[in-house]
Amino acid sequence: MPRGVTIPNGDPSSTCPSPWLGGNWDGENNTNQQLQNTHACSLPTAPIPPVRNDSPISLVERSRRSSISEYSSSNDGLRIQDFEAVLATSKTKDVTVHVELSIAEDLDGLLETFCRLKRLGHFLAAEQYFKENLQRYLEVPPVMIEYADMLLEQGNYNAINQLNLEDRSFQFLDEPGYTQHAIDYKLLQTIASIHYHGNFKWAQSYFDEWETHIHELISMPISLSSLQIRHIRYILEILSDMKLHSSFLKKYPAWIKSLSNVYERLRNEGRVWDVHDLLIAAANMDTSHNRWIDNEVLSIDGLSKFLQYWTLGAYDESTYLALLDVFSVLSIACMSTNIYPPNEENTVTAKRYLLCARDLATCIQKNSLSLIKSRPYIRWILAEESFTRMSNSTSSGDLKSHLANFPGIVIWVSTLPIYIPLKRENPGWPSSSDKPFNISLLTTALKVSQELQDLRMEALCR
């Protein structure tokens, strides 16, 4: 397999090498500085000096200071009001014209740098960059949406609530071309409300509207934009929460099985980060609705084709980082009994994903050492730790049997259960004969998450 990424057949329970063990980190400042030097836009702040033309003028820009739009034509040439000059090819005299030109910010460039920091999980740096470069454009819908999406990825749901996105969505109802922004605002507000308040009111209110929207997206004959892929991602996250935590959604809608068509388009277009978003969002669905993932990634044949497709050619840090995150999330999903039933097949699948992630992490470590301080790398460490505990634990079966003796509801998140009492009973925790695990690597991952202000990864590390 090109560049060392192979179909795994080893044992992921063996020691996982990491530069975090016994080393220190000194690359963050350099990384942030490189990002700034590479992507930041230097915009002029001083007034534009007068323009000196050494040849006859053929075009004069509109000035906001002088009305130069009114002119008259004669046999002698073009005469412009408020200027004592005649512009004609027969004249050789130079003319100096003072004009004021509007300056347009390169928002695309600024947002690109901001989104890169978000993808890396550098949320503290992203917040600082936003305040310095984009804060004054917060009312511009694309800027507002990217900022709210950063807060969502970070896990800062309260900050999203404070943006009042639902109220802002109504300003676009009667404006053609802005319906996409209204959908974004509603989706973001709904997710924040679910996670921060446990409130499914908006999810239920807008459910039919989103069903219609998602059908339109999936049936479109043309490629979907990244914004539309984001809509699918948000809706899948909401559906997963509704299925798990509310009685409103009894089963997943049938259109989820059609996501394979969307995936094929994105794959053929080489849009690795959109593929990343789609696969991670779909990974939280139960296995009966993920047969398309089974065919494309889960089977040995599908996994081989997947790796060959995305890892051909020269090493690309962005592609490898996206794939590392995908395999780490899929491995964790296979270990979550809330998504997949606990059996030997799912354990083997989790192992296969994890070994793919390990190969990718090794390539990243060798070629882009600074990227070990990123969310995908931290998530891979968490996947390794989860699998080690699941493989070496002898008490997980005893714990399930113990909790089965109580009337409450048990929800499994990865390898840890959440018990919801029926009345006021407390099942306690059975004593374990397992040997204590080495938590040094996990502690380091926790410290890095705190340093990056990655709230989601920090919560998982705890």
What span, in angstroms and rounded, lies between the C-alpha atoms of 189 and 47? 41
Residue-by-residue DSSP string for 379-427: HHHHHHHHHHHHHH-SSHHHHHHHHTTSSSEEEEETTEEEEE-SSS---
- Name the strands in the sheet holding 86-87, side by side, starting at the edge strand that comes first in the sequence: 71-74, 77-80, 86-87
pLDDT at 64 over 50: no
* CB contact burial 160-193 (16+ within 10 A = b; e otherwise): bbebebbebbeebeeeeeeebbbbbbbbbbbbbb
Going from the C-alpha of 121 to that of each of 21, 196, 238, 298, 394, the distances in angstroms are 21, 21, 22, 26, 35
Q: How far apart are CA 280 and CA 266, in angstroms?
A: 14
| CA–CA gap between residue 337 and residue 282 (Å, rounded) | 16
Residues 380, 332: Cα–Cα separation, whole Å: 9
8-22, 200-214, 244-258, 426-440: least confidently modelled range: 8-22
Lowest mean pLDDT among 102-106, 256-260, 413-417: 413-417
Between 409 and 35, whose confidence is greater? 409
Domain ranges of the chain: 51-104
What pLDDT is stored for residue 328 in this prediction?
A: 94
Over the Cα atoms of the chain, what is R_g? 28
pLDDT for the residue numbered 147: 96
Which of 66-75, 98-107, 178-187, 373-382 has the lowest average pLDDT? 66-75
Give the pLDDT confidence score for residue 406 in this predicted structure.
Answer: 85
Q: Does the pLDDT at position 170 exceed 50? A: yes
CA end-to-end span of the chain: 36
pLDDT, one tens digit per residue, over 359-377 is 999 999 999 999 999 999 9
Q: Which range has the worst mean pLDDT, 212-221, 286-295, 415-424? A: 286-295
What is the arithmetic mean of pLDDT over 290-298?
Answer: 61
In this structure, what DSSP letter does residue 55 have? Answer: S
d(CA 89, CA 78): 10
Q: How far is CA 360 from the centre of its chain?
A: 19
Q: What is the pLDDT of residues 397-431, one digit of tens each?
A: 567 777 788 888 777 655 567 778 888 888 887 76
63 falls in which pLDDT band (50, 70, 90)? very low
pLDDT of residue 21 exceeding 60, the answer is no
Burial (0-12, 13-18, 19+ Cβ within 10 Å), 27: middle
State the amino acid at position 373 in one-letter form: K
In angstroms, rounded to a whole number, what is the distance separating the alpha carbons of residues 100 and 60? 11
Q: Are 86 and 77 in contact (CB under 8 A)?
A: yes
Say if residues 410 and 417 touch (Cβ distance below 8 Å): yes
Q: What is the per-residue pLDDT across 299-349, written as a single tens digit (0 to 9) for each?
A: 667 788 888 888 877 899 999 999 999 999 988 888 875 555 556 777 888
Alpha carbon dihedral 336, 342, 346, 350, in 10-degree steps, equals 40
Q: Does residue 450 surpass a pLDDT of 80? A: yes
